[in-house]
Amino acid sequence: MSDDTPDLLEAAHQIVVEQLTRLRNLARQGEQQREQQTVELRRIERLLDETTMQQRFATERKLPVAATLAKREQELRRQQEAALHASQHLQRALKELDQLIRQIDMSSTALEGESESADPWVLALRSQVIKGREEERVRLAREVHDSPAQVLANTLMGLERCRTLLQHQDLERLGMMLDRLRDATQEGLHEVRHFIADLRPGRLEEQGLIVAIQEYIRRYTQAYNTHVSLEHDTLPRLGLETEIVLYRIVQEALQNVHKHARGASVWVSLHIRQERLLLTIRDDGPGFDPHEVLRRAGRESWGLTSMRERAELIGARFVVVARSGQGTEVAVTLPLNANDVRS
């Protein structure tokens, strides 16, 4: 009876391998589709930028074509919204498919009976780390596209317009256009510097978590003209990984406030209670119904999921309390021990 066991495992392994091959082929098709969607979205955005510039110029000059360009702009915005929705839907599907593939792959490795060095849980964790890095690159690429790349594209179109004005010796409008380009470029440079600072908060490693959060709050309030207060105890220096995670959670929570509760006041606090670090970020925005969000989307938002996963990586408990019309509170509870504290 025991002699038949390896044959059963081999047959089971073969079934898993076949299913993995089909799922990976499906994932490759999805990635190809996502690349096509990205190309199409960029084409629509490029056309939208060009049409917007043309429409503004036509409106300023009171040209008859202004109305036609305005309709064209509205149509392109509808196309952009539909393309974004389709892209987000496909991205969620690909992420869930990737998780399924990794789970099945882990089972396949277990059936192979490999050595301890190829432990399936270790392999799964390694895969998760690699996937997380890739998702971070995608997020960074999207932010670069939405900010610096858009500034450069608009500047390029503005320079083309300046060339035309120069050819017609329309020096008054040329001066106005150059002033606009200068202001837009300065704003773009400001955003790029913030972008670089957010990638690697230098003050975090040098001066600790509180100073880094204070600096981020200062930049946040300047950028969005909103009120954020910070209350904190005197904290010991924690492990660098722990401080990075807590900093990123504050960063993500404040960005969520900007996206979903613009103008809301925010209160951030860090306190130590009974050998636990308590981090809370609370706002007085419109809030939301978590059950309704889950019902519509079938899962938490990407921002909440990111914060939850970061908290769990350092052994912290993550809780979101939100009600429609009553604001939102994000709370992280981290047990402290001697290994967490740096001397």
CATH code of the domain covering residue 209: 3.30.565.10
Across the chain, what does the average pLDDT equal?
Answer: 79
pTM greater than 0.85 (yes/no): no
Start-to-end CA distance of the chain, whole Å, equals: 60
Domain boundary among 125, 146, 170: 125
Please state, for a pLDDT cut of 90, what percent of the chain lies above it. Answer: 15
Same domain, 232 and 325: yes
Same domain, 242 and 113: no
Place of tokens 């690429």: 141
The confidence score (pLDDT) of residue 333 equals: 94
What is the domain count for the chain? Answer: 2
The answer to whether position 8 is within a domain reads yes
Same domain, 111 and 240: no
Domain boundary among 125, 156, 187: 125
Q: Considering only CA atoms, which of 332, 322, 331 is closest in space to residue 285?
A: 322
Same domain, 208 and 337: yes
pLDDT tens column, 295-327 = 554 444 556 777 888 888 888 999 988 777 778
The answer to whether position 216 is within a domain reads yes
Question: β-pairing, 317-322 with 328-335?
Answer: antiparallel
Q: Tell which wins on pLDDT, 340 or 226.
A: 226
The answer to whether position 11 is within a domain reads yes
Domain boundary among 125, 152, 186: 125
Q: Is the pLDDT of residue 183 over 60?
A: yes
Q: Is the pLDDT of residue 22 over 80?
A: yes
Q: Is the pLDDT of residue 246 over 70?
A: yes
Q: 245 near 311, Cβ under 8 Å? A: yes
Place of tokens 């096509």: 36
Same domain, 105 and 224: no
Same domain, 231 and 329: yes
pLDDT tens column, 24-33 = 888 889 888 8
The confidence score (pLDDT) of residue 228 equals: 94
Domain that holds residue 249: 203-342
